[in-house]
Every structure is written in structure tokens, then in C-alpha cells.
Amino acid sequence: MTNLSEMQVDTAILEARAMRAAFMRKTLTGWAQRALGGLHRIQQRRRTLAALSALDDRVLADIGLTRGSLRRAAYAAADQAYDQEQHEAGRPAARTPIQALNATLFGGVADNSNSDDRKAA
């Protein structure tokens, strides 16, 4: 068995504490990010649903929706926008929930005039 000096033991203890602190930070940060991400997704869903609910029946019919399908459409659009935002590593979403809904309903990529500005920055 090797005899360790007091300095080596103290160094090993400090390294172990630093590793434990880093692990705890990473664990807590991941948990907090998931919790806040869930709250952000809920807020996006509510805002999208409120925006669609404010439209009259004629406009809803023009975009192919009915009052009964608003919640499903709003949730799908908000979730799609949130997922895209997550893939862009924390940058703002390239599409708003309404733009994502338009892309979902009408196919193709939703128009986003600010996307070139974000890429240049």
C-alpha cells in the first residue's frame, strides 16, 4: 500500500469536490432548462390559441380551420416552432407559431423575412 502525503490527500479531496460540484451544476442546469422549456412551450401554445381564437369564422374557414380544430392546430404550430427553436441551440425561433401553422396547413416553408438578418448576426 502506498503512503500518501497530506498534500496529495487534500488535492484528491479538492478534485473530488470540484467534480461533484460540476456534476450537480450540470444536472440542475439540465433539469431547469427542461422545466423552463416546458413552460415556454405552454406559453407559446396559449398565445397561438388566443391569436387563432380572436379570428372570426370566415377567416378561420379561409385558412381551413373550424372553431373545433383550433386547439389541435394551435398546439401543433406552437410545438413545431418550439422544436425548431431548440434545434437552433437557444437562438430565437426562426418561425413564429402562426408562421409554423401556415407552413403546416399550406405546405412548404413559411416565409420569414428576418431569417437572413439572424444568419448574418
pLDDT by residue (tens digit) across 72-107? 988 888 878 777 777 775 544 445 666 667 666 766
Number of structural domains found in the chain? 1
Please report whether residue 121 resides in a domain.
Answer: no
Please report whether residue 120 resides in a domain.
Answer: no
What's the Cα-to-Cα distance from 31 to each of 5, 8, 37, 111, rounded to whole Å? 39, 35, 10, 34
pLDDT at 94: 46
User: Which band of pLDDT confidence, cut at 50, 70 and 90, is reported for residue 38?
Assistant: confident
Domain interval for residue 50: 6-112
Please report whether residue 23 resides in a domain.
Answer: yes
State pLDDT tens for residues 7-28: 888 888 888 888 888 888 877 7
Please report whether residue 1 resides in a domain.
Answer: no
State pLDDT tens for residues 63-78: 899 999 999 988 888 8
In whole angstroms, give the CA distance from residue 37 to residue 49. 18
pLDDT at 107: 63
Helix, strand, coil tally for the chain in percent (to 5): 75, 0, 25
pLDDT at 44: 85
pLDDT at 28: 75
Those residues with Cβ within 8 angstroms of residue 64's Cβ, 6 or more apart along the chain or in another chain: 105
Whether the predicted pLDDT of 121 surpasses 70: no
Please report whether residue 24 resides in a domain.
Answer: yes
pLDDT at 114: 44
pTM listed for this prediction: 0.48
